[in-house]
Amino acid sequence: MYFGLSEEQEFFHDNVKKFLLDNASIDEIRKIANGDDNSIQKDILQGIVNLGVNSLLVPEEYGGLGTELLHAVSISQALGGGVGPVPFLGSYVMAPLALSLGGNENQKKVYLPKIVSNEIRFGVGLSEFIGAREDAGLEINKNKVSGRALFVIDAENADKIILSTKAGVLFLVDASDKNLKINKLITVDKTRTFHELVLKNVDCEILEQSIENIEIVKKVVDAGRIILAADTLGASESMIEKAVAYSKERKQFNRTIGSFQAVKHMCAEMAADLEPCYSLVWQAAHSFDKDSSEESRLLACQVKSHLSEIGKSISKKATEVHGGMGFTDLLGLHYWFKRIGLNRQILGAPEIVREEAAEIQGFNQ
């Protein structure tokens, strides 16, 4: 029995990977990270949208492709491999899922087709559901929301933003609301943006199905965690490839460093650690659409926590193979290193996610 990506999923992966190779070189990534040329990022995003990534998870009845999460995983893996500096996780994965699962029929008809036509772009912030800080959290009173939300994903240039209360109620706010203040957060990863939202009596539109069903917001979080794991998988894969290529070129004592046993072992360990992660990510994405919520949630927790640890280990070893050069801006290896590091924290650090997995299995009783 063959277990892997289908031809269609590989087609999406290969197209996105090739597009990034052709249009998002290290020089372009460096310019975007330094804020030197915003037009480059806009062109890259438009190219990615032209490949159809925005319509992947929108049901066919609303004009989308209606694919399963595994298609989005294949694209996320390619984006991680090329440190794609574009919105995807929030705008084109979590947002359409939140609307499809939590919205009423009118909300679906209004918003989902506009995601497909690229008329509306969404940001998503669910950190206040996963674990609100002491000075954060959101409260809704008569369709007005006040509070503070941290680490909102894809909020830059978004038209609408989907947020959640601690109780798991999903709602929309207009990004242009005069009572909404959006502050850019400074993170180590300059290829993507994260924001803090400060709300004071901001008009909100509640996604009605999420009021009585907390499983909806959990499902959206599960999808986000699987996509982050796939992004880390792709980034780790690229770091290994770069480490191996460098070890074949770099010479010391008139020998390529790849011929030294210590370097061979490091590269072999990275490859051996990463290989089982492919099937783990694919199984988690398959389970998301096919299995019970409890089983799929457990796999989402496992894949997020495990890839966080494996990615951290690989990013460290790949940088060490490059020696002092690995820490310079010349090679740009740090863009993958930092992306993996931030993926580890978004939507729950490994410690938080493992605790959730323990609760699912009843280990903390």
Please write the tens of the pLDDT for every residue from 308-336. Answer: 999 999 999 999 999 877 777 778 899 99
Q: Is 1 inside a domain boundary?
A: no
Domain boundary pick from 162, 193, 210? 210
Domain boundary pick from 187, 210, 233? 210
- Residue 51's φ and ψ, nearest 5 degrees, are -80, -5
CATH number of 352's domain: 1.20.140.10
Residues 340 and 232 grouped into a single domain: yes
**pLDDT, position 331:** 84
CATH number of 154's domain: 2.40.110.10
Using CA atoms, how far apart are residues 233 and 310, in angstroms rounded to an integer?
9
Q: Is 334 inside a domain boundary?
A: yes
Q: Is 283 inside a domain boundary?
A: yes
Q: Provide CB contacts within 8 A for 247, sequence distance 6+.
A: 256, 257, 258, 263, 267, 321
Cβ neighbours of 349 (radius 10 Å): 15
Please, what's the largest Cα pairwise distance for the chain? 74
**pLDDT, position 259:** 84
What total of structural domains would you count in the chain? 3
Tell me the per-residue pLDDT of 269-287, one tens digit each, with 9 for 90 and over: 999 999 999 999 999 999 9
Residues 190 and 77 grouped into a single domain: no
Torsion angle of alpha carbons 104, 132, 152, 218, nearest 10°? -40
| Phi/psi-derived region of residue 348, left when phi > 0, alpha when psi is between -120 and 50, beta in every other case | left
Task: Using DSSP, state whether 196 is helix, strand or coil.
Answer: strand
- Residue 11's φ and ψ, nearest 5 degrees, are -60, -45
Please state, rounded to an integer, the average pLDDT across all residues of the chain.
Answer: 92
Q: Is 2 inside a domain boundary?
A: no
Q: Is 144 inside a domain boundary?
A: yes
Q: Is 186 inside a domain boundary?
A: yes
- Alpha-helix residue ranges (DSSP H) falling in 164-260: 215-249
Residue type for position 139: E
Q: Is 335 inside a domain boundary?
A: yes
Per-residue confidence band for 6, with pLDDT thresholds at 50, 70 and 90: confident
Residues 350 and 262 grouped into a single domain: yes
Q: Is 75 inside a domain boundary?
A: yes
Domain range holding 184? 122-210
With pLDDT > 70 as the criterion, what percentage of the chain qualifies? 98
The answer to whether the predicted template modeling score (pTM) of the entire model surpasses 0.75 is yes
Tell me the per-residue pLDDT of 109-133, one tens digit each, with 9 for 90 and over: 999 999 999 999 999 999 889 876 7
Mean pLDDT of 29-33: 89
Domain boundary pick from 210, 225, 246? 210
Tell me the per-residue pLDDT of 153-209, one tens digit each, with 9 for 90 and over: 999 999 999 999 998 999 999 999 999 999 999 999 999 999 999 999 999 999 999
Residues 200 and 235 grouped into a single domain: no
**pLDDT, position 34:** 86
Per-residue confidence band for 357, with pLDDT thresholds at 50, 70 and 90: very high
**pLDDT, position 365:** 64
Per-residue confidence band for 137, with pLDDT thresholds at 50, 70 and 90: confident
DSSP state of 229: H
CATH number of 21's domain: 1.10.540.10
Residues 269 and 288 grouped into a single domain: yes
Residues 158 and 223 grouped into a single domain: no
Counting every residue, how long is the chain?
Answer: 365
Residues 270 and 302 grouped into a single domain: yes
Per-residue confidence band for 135, with pLDDT thresholds at 50, 70 and 90: low
Mean pLDDT of 229-239: 97
Residues 334 and 318 grouped into a single domain: yes
